[in-house]
Structure 1
Amino acid sequence: MKHPYTKLLANIIAYAASIILYALNAGGSINGLTILSITLATIASINLVRAITTITERKQQ
């Protein structure tokens, strides 16, 4: 059984990876602000997935 949001999760992971690559290419090094930005984006992505999963579970009941 494939989870319907597997593709969404994969897109979010790719998005986070692109942020990291951009930070490495743009600055040459990762500073505190970049780490904070990546952390916030990651937390937001995780919360989004959790919210969608919760909504999906409620609809199925």
Structure 2
Amino acid sequence: MSQVQASRLGRSAITFFVQPESKASIRAALADGGYGTSFQQGIVNLLNELMVKQNREPIT
């Protein structure tokens, strides 16, 4: 049985694929928009903004 990193316990992965050349511009857009400088932080913050706008519970 494989061990799970503590930071991943109780969490589920959502994976999506983009063109390799778009990664830098996505990261820049997230940072410029104030969402964060990592993909993890930026996407979570962006999704939380969407959830709040739709009167839904933010994700953690």
The answer to whether TM tops 0.5 is no
Q: TM-score, normalised by structure 2?
A: 0.32
Q: TM-score, normalised by structure 1?
A: 0.32
Instruction: State which structure, 1 or 2, has the greater radius of gyration over its C-alpha atoms.
Output: 1
Greater helix share, structure number: 1
